[in-house]
């Protein structure tokens, strides 16, 4: 009896304190719904998420469903339900909103980048504050700093309540000092020294340039890449059983130094015992065998195997088998330490091109792009021709970026579309500009140039420039497709005044005007021929105090000339871009002859040969070699090459480190005279630039330049060549090309004019 009385008392007390709970358990018809406790949100927002409406019957199931629906929105911190007669009352406590986010102490990661990243995960001003999101944010920030080698980073967040149910979030970051890799040990290597193996690693101990390259800062991703490079190194040298057994990375208690130990098993080197082809050989077996670099008796090399597989795949792709699958399968003989390699060929079905489509060319006409294609519609696909079309579009100079895809046509097994996507860039200029070069001084120029006039691919230009040395006017027009076969035709006219006293050439003043017509003829895909007939009227002012060489030439030939020049140019160009190329080869032979005519004419000829060659060196480095040789002479009544047609060298375009045009013979006044024979060349290493790898308009190179110019009465003496080494940078900016170089000349003579730092910006016509 006493026990029952006790239960009754507890029940009465509970009913007095939890009336809402008891009422909620009772079923009733909802006559109205009321929301209380809102500060920022409107009742309509709550109603949108409720699973019931007026007129529904409320019960326990509906109660739980409503609470779950509101909590699921993430907008509310607490939800309670009460009954007021026939009215269902929701008493709600909203989560606070983020009023402000403040980041302090971050130097290695920009505040803008961090805020953009927070916005992507929903943590931004005006959003609902969620403590769990803030905790995840701190973890992600630590991970990012760990990837930068800063393991002592400290992150502390403070949440401060504000009015109107808002909070201010402050994140204080103590970045600390990046931990450095003090030692990398490789254990288990017998065939190769540790020093040689570490050369394939991008991670290093501190070096003179590691402050810039960050190569001494550890990250798991970098170490994984280096381990893969180590594996490739061994597999390319026959060690097919090579294995990385374990990797230990330890950090000192002060979190400043990192030690890495890599345990490896080399195994034994294997040689190739035989090579054969299998599968459906749709091409002659002899042709496919020639593509395989794997030879019997050589050490097994994974790189050579991959290269041979790609060569076979590319060959099949050029014959229309776009979906060919070629696998190299090694058969390992552990007893004899040999590998027999079989290349299995599955060509698939030959694919035909249904359509070639272009997108992104809002200004350029479709026909301008289509005429650069080498892949025909309706024919079987050739991956080489498709890629060649991409390169030809890049070399037009109208597009910032060109991409190509070859998706299969839905519903077919033997058709593809070729889709080129271009990003157009400004191909015309209208306005005025200022440039500068150290030889010509400040250059003022006005130009109207349209490389892609009205989207037709035709070039129309008018230019005016004025500097301390030259005043130039020019008009030009070129139609690159004067005929459907790609023969170009152009016209130009010009006027030029030169004051040689202000330039690094022998002192003379001249006025030249003229014009010409030119034709360009494509011979093959990479070879072209160009010819032109130009007229030049040249007047030389002989009133000044000029050098003896100038006075003697004027006395022998006069000071006014009508010169008709016939020009011929042959070029081979397989470079991948018109500006800043990094692959391919270029050869150019240019010849011109001044035709003999009755009257005040000159007779002379000039021949020039230029070449440039690019090749990959290691993975991130590209070597470029260049050379130029030129020769000129007079004929008939003109005994020597006119002095104003001489070759000059020295400066940013030839031998850096020497003032422009100053290398070579001097006149009687000690000024550069130039010569009739030039010889220049050089080598460049295009360097990978951290933080600029994806910026195609910037280039940094290390260079070696050499050359000289020789006069009529001089023998070619290679011992008189001038040299320089240094580093240069180039940026194709929106207002012109900027070039800078710092060079150390050597092999120079006492009368040479040196200039270690050189730069130019803007462009002159």
Mind listing the pLDDT tens digit for each residue in 28-69?
888 788 888 777 777 877 788 788 888 888 887 888 888 888
At residue 4, does pLDDT exceed 60? no
Please say whether the structural domain 2-94 has been given the CATH code 3.40.50.1220: no
C-alpha separations of 622 from 617, 618, 683 in Å:
5, 8, 11
Kindly report the backbone phi and psi dihedral angles of residue 198, in degrees, each rounded to the nearest multiple of 5, phi listed first. Answer: -70, -15
Residue 159 CB coordination number (10 Å): 13
Amino acid 691: pLDDT: 52
Residue 7's beta-bridge partner residues?
none
pLDDT grade for 13, boundaries at 50, 70 and 90? very low
- Inter-residue contact 11 to 74 (CB < 8 Å): no
DSSP tag of 379: S
Contact 190, 265 (CB under 8 A): no
Question: Residue 418 belongs to what H/E stretch?
Answer: strand 415-424
Mean pLDDT of 258-268: 93
- The dotted CATH code for 352-424 is 3.10.20.310
Phi, psi of 685 (to 5 degrees): -115, 115
Q: Please state which architecture CATH assigns to domain 271-346.
A: Roll (3.10)
Least confident of 77-81, 552-556, 734-738: 734-738
Q: Which of the 8 DSSP states describes residue 672?
A: B
- Average pLDDT on 605-629 reads 90
Architecture per CATH, 97-174: Roll (3.10)
Collapsing DSSP to helix, strand or coil, 221 comes out as: helix
pLDDT in tens, 443-456: 444 556 666 677 67
Q: Is pLDDT above 60 for 287?
A: yes
Tell me how far apart the alpha carbons of residues 570 and 591 are, in angstroms, rounded to a whole number. Answer: 9
Backbone angles phi, psi at 625, to 5 degrees: -115, 140
Mean pLDDT (whole number) for 472-493 = 88
Q: Could you check whether 97-174 and 428-761 share the same CATH topology?
A: no
- Domain map of the chain by residue range? 2-94, 97-174, 180-265, 271-346, 352-424, 428-761
User: 647: closest CA among 674, 673, 670?
Assistant: 674
Q: How many other C-beta atoms lie within 10 A of the C-beta of residue 246?
A: 10
Rounded-to-integer distance, Cα 310 and Cα 304, Å: 10
The alpha carbon torsion through 505, 507, 511, 512 (nearest 10 deg) reads -30
For 681-747, give the secondary structure using H, E and C: EEEEEEECCCCCCCCCCEEEEEEEEEEEEECCCCCCCHHHCEEEEEEEEEEEECCEEEEEEEEEEEC
Residue 544: which residues within 8 A CB-CB, separation 6 or more?
A: 501, 507, 508, 509
* Res 587: pLDDT: 96
**Residue 646: exposed, middle, or buried by beta-carbon count in 10 A (0-12, 13-18, 19+)?**
buried
| pLDDT for res 515 | 94
Name the pLDDT band for 426 (thresholds 50, 70, 90): low
Q: Which of 63, 21, 71, 24 is nearest to 46 (CA)?
A: 71
Torsion of CA 424, 425, 427, 432, to 10 degrees: 150
210 in the Ramachandran plot: left (φ > 0), alpha (ψ -120 to 50) or beta? Answer: alpha
Cα-Cα-Cα-Cα dihedral sign, residues 389, 391, 394, 397: negative
Burial code of 520-555, b = ≥16 C-beta within 10 A, e = fewer?
A: beeeeebebebebebebebebeeeeebbebbeebbe
Q: What is the CATH number of domain 428-761?
A: 2.40.160.50
Residues near 661 by Cβ (< 8 Å), separated by ≥ 6?
439, 503, 504, 505, 648, 649, 650, 651, 672, 674
Asked if the 180-265 domain carries CATH number 3.30.70.270, the reply is no
Per-residue pLDDT at 619 exceeds 90: no
* pLDDT at position 435: 43
Q: What angle do CA 486, 490, 492 make, to 5 degrees?
A: 165
Residue 24 pLDDT greater than 50, yes or no: no
Question: How far apart (Å, rounded) are the C-alpha atoms in residues 353 and 409?
Answer: 9
Check whether 342 has a pLDDT greater than 90.
yes
Q: Which residue has the higher pLDDT, 467 or 659?
A: 659
Q: What angle do CA 711, 713, 719 make, to 5 degrees?
A: 65
What values do phi and psi take at 639, rounded to 5? -80, -25
Which residue in 647, 664, 669, 658 sits closest to 507, CA to CA? 669
Residue 3 binned pLDDT confidence (cut-offs 50, 70, 90): very low
Q: How far apart are CA 510 and CA 497, in angstroms?
A: 6
């Amino acid at each position: 009896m006493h026990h029952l009385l006790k239960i009754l008392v507890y029940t009465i007390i509970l009913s007095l304190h939890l009336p809402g709970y008891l009422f909620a358990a009772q079923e009733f018809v909802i006559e109205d719904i009321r929301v209380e406790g809102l500060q920022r949100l409107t009742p309509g927002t709550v109603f949108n998420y409720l699973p019931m409406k007026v007129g529904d019957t409320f019960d326990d199931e509906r109660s739980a469903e409503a609470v779950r629906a509101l909590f699921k929105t993430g907008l509310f911190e607490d939800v309670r339900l009460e009954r007021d007669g026939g009215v269902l009352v929701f008493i709600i406590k909203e989560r606070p909103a983020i009023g402000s986010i403040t980041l302090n102490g971050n130097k290695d990661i920009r505040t803008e980048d961090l805020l953009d990243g927070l916005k992507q995960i929903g943590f931004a001003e005006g959003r609902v504050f969620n403590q769990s999101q803030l905790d995840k944010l701190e973890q992600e920030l630590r991970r990012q700093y760990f990837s930068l080698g800063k393991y002592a980073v400290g992150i502390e967040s403070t949440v401060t309540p504000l009015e109107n149910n808002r909070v201010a979030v402050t994140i204080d970051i103590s970045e600390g000092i990046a931990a450095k890799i003090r030692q990398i040990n490789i254990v288990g290597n017998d065939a190769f020294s540790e020093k040689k193996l570490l050369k394939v690693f991008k991670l290093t101990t501190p070096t003179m340039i590691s402050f810039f390259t960050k190569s001494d800062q550890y990250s798991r991703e970098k170490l994984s890449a280096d381990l893969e490079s180590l594996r490739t190194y061994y597999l390319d040298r026959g060690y097919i059983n090579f294995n990385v057994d374990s990797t230990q990375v330890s950090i000192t208690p002060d979190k400043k130094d990192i030690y890495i130990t890599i345990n490896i098993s080399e195994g034994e080197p294997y040689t190739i015992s035989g090579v054969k082809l299998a599968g459906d050989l749709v091409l002659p077996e002899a042709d496919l065998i020639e593509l395989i670099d794997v030879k019997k008796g050589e050490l097994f090399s994974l790189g050579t195997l991959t290269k041979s597989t790609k060569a076979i795949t590319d060959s099949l792709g050029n014959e229309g088998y776009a979906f060919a699958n070629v696998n190299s399968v090694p058969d390992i003989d552990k007893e004899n330490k040999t590998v027999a390699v079989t290349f299995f060929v599955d060509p698939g079905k030959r694919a035909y091109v249904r359509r070639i489509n272009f997108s992104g060319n809002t200004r350029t006409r479709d026909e301008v792009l289509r005429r650069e294609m080498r892949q025909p519609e309706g024919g079987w696909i050739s991956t080489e021709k498709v890629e060649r079309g991409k390169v030809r579009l890049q070399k037009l100079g109208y597009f910032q970026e060109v991409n190509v895809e070859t998706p299969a046509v839905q519903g077919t097994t033997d058709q593809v579309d070729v889709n080129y996507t271009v990003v157009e860039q400004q191909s015309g200029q209208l306005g005025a500009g200022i440039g500068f070069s150290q030889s010509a001084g400040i250059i003022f120029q006005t130009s109207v140039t349209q490389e892609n006039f009205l989207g037709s691919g035709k070039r129309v230009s008018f230019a005016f420039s004025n500097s301390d040395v030259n005043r130039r006017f020019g008009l030009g027009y070129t139609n690159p497709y004067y005929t459907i076969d790609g023969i170009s035709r152009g016209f130009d006219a010009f006027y030029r005044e030169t004051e040689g006293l202000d330039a690094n050439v022998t002192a003379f003043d001249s006025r030249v005007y003229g014009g010409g017509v030119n034709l360009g003829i494509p011979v093959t895909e990479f070879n072209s021929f160009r010819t032109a007939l130009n007229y030049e009227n040249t007047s030389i002012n002989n009133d000044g105090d000029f050098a003896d060489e100038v006075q003697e030439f004027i006395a022998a030939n006069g000071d006014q000339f009508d010169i008709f020049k016939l020009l011929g140019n042959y070029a081979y160009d397989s470079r991948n871009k018109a500006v800043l190329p990094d692959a391919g080869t270029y050869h150019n032979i240019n010849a011109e002859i001044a035709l003999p005519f009755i009257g005040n004419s000159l007779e002379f000829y000039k021949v020039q040969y230029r070449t440039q060659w690019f090749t990959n060196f290691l993975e991130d480095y590209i070597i470029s070699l260049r050379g130029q040789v030129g020769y000129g002479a007079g004929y008939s009544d003109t005994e020597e090459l006119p002095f104003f047609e001489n070759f000059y060298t020295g400066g940013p375009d030839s031998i850096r480190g020497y003032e422009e045009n100053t290398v070579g013979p001097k006149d009687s006044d000690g000024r550069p005279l130039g010569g009739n024979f030039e010889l220049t060349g050089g080598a460049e290493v295009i360097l990978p630039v951290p933080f600029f790898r994806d910026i195609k308009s910037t280039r940094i190179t290390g260079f070696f330049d050499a050359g000289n110019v020789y006069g009529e009465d001089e023998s070619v003496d290679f011992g008189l060549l001038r040299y320089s080494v240094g580093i240069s940078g180039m940026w194709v900016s929106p207002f012109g090309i900027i070039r800078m170089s710092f060079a150390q000349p050597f092999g120079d003579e006492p009368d040479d004019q040196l200039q270690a730092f050189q730069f130019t910006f803007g462009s002159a016509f």
